[in-house]
Amino acid sequence: MEWIFKYLKLLALWPALGMLLVAPAWARVQAEVRDLDAPHPGYVDSVADEKNLRVVEIALVREPHLDGPPLRQLIFDPKLEHEFSQRYEEKFGRTESDRNLDTLNQFSESGYISGENVSAKEEVEEQRLFGQFMVKRLTEFHVDTYMKSNPSARPLYEMKERVSKMSVQVNKGYKFNINYSYSGNYVDIKVDNPFEVYNNVKVEMDPEKLGPSDIKETMLSLKYPVDKTIVVGSDLRLNEGFVNVYGSRQVSPHLTTSLSGSTYWSATPEQESRIIMGLTWH
């Protein structure tokens, strides 16, 4: 019976031993509970009231007040932008599809709308010349603007205009306008007409020179707006023996379709005739 009493005594010691083992863990649990109940800066106890909270945005930095027109309007005139756009199309393609097809990489060659095959290096040079033309034309435009508004310099401006521009009325509703571009070293001949047909004969000389030089290209351009969404046109380059016919239709403010065809009347193996259908999202 003695072992029974020893067993009972051992059972009686187990609760005390368990309390000793559990007490530290229980103390930690109680401390964590107290820590959860304690306030925490930056946190809220409840989000129930947030639906009624009115939040007001504070503008720390306000947009600067402009005393005059934006810088872009001071630099680029709408008429000048139209001139740059026309010149870019004449050089690199009339439609977006033409320009995308002629986009080069360092391993390829492609033919410009003029029929000239160029490498990537030559393409960069053509773009440089166009950028050079834009800089010179912008400088010319702003110098002209200054001279027109300055009484002492205005006679120089008027003399420049008389030398570079000429208009001839040939019939009622028809007038020849001849303009020499100092910036691009080319001559433009346009005819005002009652049919709203855009027409232009451009005689291009060396763009890096000023004044008469070797003629690089002679181009005839025609364009007619059939309505507000459809435009048709054609380009003829005499030196290259190249003709291009194109049309575009604006389906929506951001979607334009186009169709163009080009060929050469004295084609070489490197030149190709092509028809391009395009769909452009912009």
The proportion of the chain whose per-residue pLDDT surpasses 70, expressed as a percent, equals 75
pLDDT band at 15 (very low <50, low <70, confident <90, very high): low
Q: Work out the pLDDT band at 236, boundaries 50, 70, 90.
A: very high
pLDDT grade for 114, boundaries at 50, 70 and 90: very low
What pLDDT was estimated at residue 6?
55
pTM (2 d.p.): 0.67
List C-alpha distances in Å: 251 to 89, 138, 223: 21, 34, 19
pLDDT of 282 reads 76
Furthest-apart CA pair in the chain: how many Å? 143
pLDDT band at 108 (very low <50, low <70, confident <90, very high): low
Q: What is the structure's pLDDT at 203?
A: 93
Of 244 and 70, the structure prediction assigns the larger pLDDT to: 244
CA 246 – CA 234 distance, rounded (Å): 6
What percentage of the chain has pLDDT greater than the value 90? 20
**Range with the lowest mean pLDDT among 10-14, 91-95, 129-133?**
10-14
pLDDT in tens, 74-86: 777 888 888 888 8
Q: Are residues 260 and 247 in contact, defined by beta-carbon separation less than 8 angstroms?
A: yes
Q: Is 202 exposed, middle or buried (0-12, 13-18, 19+ CB in 10 A)?
A: buried
Vertex 92 angle, CA 89 and 95, to 5°: 55
Residue type, 242: F
CA 163 from chain centre, in angstroms, equals 36
Q: Which of the two residues, 110 and 152, has the higher pLDDT score?
A: 152
pLDDT digits (tens, 9 = 90+) for 168-197: 888 888 899 999 998 889 999 999 988 889
165-175 confidence digits (pLDDT tens):
988 888 888 89
23-76 pLDDT tens trace: 565 666 566 655 555 666 667 777 777 778 788 877 777 777 777 777 777 777
- Express each pLDDT in 262-273 by its tens digit: 888 776 656 678
